[in-house]
A and B are shown apart, each in its own frame.
Chain A
Amino acid sequence: MKKWLQKGRLVSLFAMLALLLMGCGDPTLSALIPQGEVADKQFQLMLISISIMILVLVVVFVLYAFVLLKFRKKKGDNSTPKQVEGNHMLELLWTVIPILLLIILAVPTVMRTFEFSADAKPALKNELSIKVTGHQYWWEFEYPKEELITSQELVLPADTKVHVELSSADVIHSFWIPSLAGKTDTNPGDKNKNYMWFDTGSKTDVVYKGKCAELCGASHALMDFKVRVVSKEDYKNWVASYKAADGKASANANGQQVFEKNCLSCHAVGQEGGNTGPSLTGFGDKDRVAGILEHNKENLEKWIKDPQEVKPGNNMPKVNLTDEEIDAVSDYLLGLKLK
Chain B
Amino acid sequence: MATHESHKKRSGLMDWLTTVDHKKIGILYLLAGGFFFLIGGLEAILMRIQLMEPDSKIFTGELYNQLLTMHGTTMIFLAAMPIIFGFMNAILPLQIGARDVAFPFVNAVGFWLFFFGGLLLNLSWFLGGAPEAGWTAYAPLSTVAEDTGVDFYVLGLQIAGAGTLAGGINFLVTVINMRAPGMTFMRMPLFTWASFVTSGLILFAFPALTVGIFLLMFERIFDANFFNADMGGNVLIWEHIFWIFGHPEVYILILPAFGIISEIVSTFSSKRLFGYSAMVFATVLIGFLGFMVWVHHMFTVGLGPVANSIFAVATMAIAIPTGVKIFNWIFTMWGGQIRFTTAMLFAVGFIPTFVMGGVTGVMLSVPAADYQYHDSYFVVAHFHYVIVGGLILGLFAGLYYWYPRMFNRVLNETLGKWNFWLFFIGFHLTFFPQHWLGLMGMPRRVYTYMSGQDLDGANFVSTIGAILMGAGTIVLLINIVISASSKYATTKDPWDGRTLEWAMPVPTPEYNFAQTPLVRGLDALYVEKTAGNGEMTPAEPVGEIHMPNGSILPFILSFGLFIAGFGFIYANWTVVIVGLGVVLVTMFLRSVIDDHGYHIHKEEVEADIKGGRA
Residues of A within 8 A of B (CB): 7, 10-11, 14-15, 17-18, 21-26, 29-32, 39, 41-42, 45-46, 49-50, 52-53, 56-57, 60-61, 63-64, 67-68, 71-73, 77, 79-87, 90-91, 94-95, 98-99, 102, 105-106, 109-110, 112-118, 166, 170-172, 174, 176, 178-179, 181-185, 187-195, 209, 211-222, 224, 292, 312-313
Contact = CB atoms under 8 A, between A and B. Distances in A.
A192 to B, nearest CB: 6
A174 B141 contact: no
Contacts of A211: 441, 443
Contact of B300 (A23, A72, A185): A185
Interface stretch (B160-168, B329-337, B386-394): B329-337
A8 to B, nearest CB: 11
29 contacts: A14-B425, A14-B429, A25-B453, A26-B452, A29-B453, A29-B454, A42-B372, A45-B369, A46-B369, A56-B323, A56-B355, A71-B269, A73-B339, A83-B272, A95-B320, A102-B316, A109-B309, A113-B305, A116-B305, A116-B368, A172-B138, A188-B140, A213-B375, A213-B376, A215-B65, A215-B133, A215-B134, A218-B61, A218-B132
A71 B336 contact: yes
B123 interface: no
B140 A171 contact: yes
A292 B453 CA distance: 13
A222 B373 CA distance: 19
Contacts, number: 320
Given A25-B436, A53-B362, A87 B368 contact: no
Nearest to B523: A83
B611 interface: no
A312 B62 contact: yes
A188 B235 contact: yes
Contact of B309 (A52, A113, A176): A113
Contacts of B445: 215, 220-221
**Most central of B144, B372, B450 by chain A CB within 10 Å:** B372
Given A17-B461, A187-B236, A312-B60, A56 B359 contact: yes
A114 B309 contact: yes
B295 interface: no
Contacts of A194: 301-302
B368 A71 contact: no
Contact of B140 (A49, A61, A87, A172): A172
Contact of A213 (B271, B355, B374): B374
A15 B320 contact: no
A109 B367 contact: yes
Contacts of A99: 320
**Most central of A61, A91, A112 by chain B CB within 10 Å:** A91
A206 to B, nearest CB: 15
Contacts of A185: 300-302
A117 B62 CA distance: 35
B218 interface: no
A214 B375 contact: yes
B239 to A, nearest CB: 9
Contact of B363 (A53, A179, A224): A53
Nearest to A91: B278
Contact of B271 (A57, A83, A112, A212): A83
A30 B229 contact: no
Given A57-B355, A172-B141, A90 B331 contact: yes
A237 to B, nearest CB: 29
Interface of B: 60-62, 64-65, 68, 132-134, 138, 140-141, 144, 229-230, 233-236, 269-272, 274-278, 300-302, 304-305, 308-309, 312-313, 316-317, 319-320, 323-324, 326-328, 330-331, 333-340, 348, 351-352, 355-356, 359, 362-363, 365-376, 421, 424-425, 428-429, 432-433, 436, 439-441, 443-450, 452-455, 457-458, 460-461, 530
Contacts of A212: 443
A23 B338 CA distance: 39
A84 B335 contact: yes
A220 B446 contact: yes
A271 to B, nearest CB: 28
B458 A217 contact: no
Contact of B330 (A30, A67, A81, A172): A67
Contacts of B134: 215
A139 B339 CA distance: 59
A15 B435 CA distance: 13
A72 B337 CA distance: 6
Given A14-B428, A109-B367, A81 B446 contact: no
B441 A178 contact: yes
Given A52-B362, A189-B229, 20 more contacts: A14-B425, A25-B441, A53-B362, A64-B330, A67-B333, A73-B338, A84-B274, A86-B274, A91-B275, A116-B305, A117-B304, A172-B140, A172-B141, A176-B443, A178-B372, A187-B235, A192-B236, A219-B61, A221-B449, A312-B62
Contact of B457 (A21, A86, A191): A21
State the 6 A-B residue pairs at the shortest beta-carbon distance, nearest first.
A182-B371, A189-B229, A25-B440, A312-B61, A221-B446, A21-B457
B436 A22 contact: yes
Nearest to B374: A183
A181 B366 CA distance: 15
Contact of A86 (B277, B326, B446): B277
A86 B276 CA distance: 7
Contact of A170 (B140, B334, B449): B140
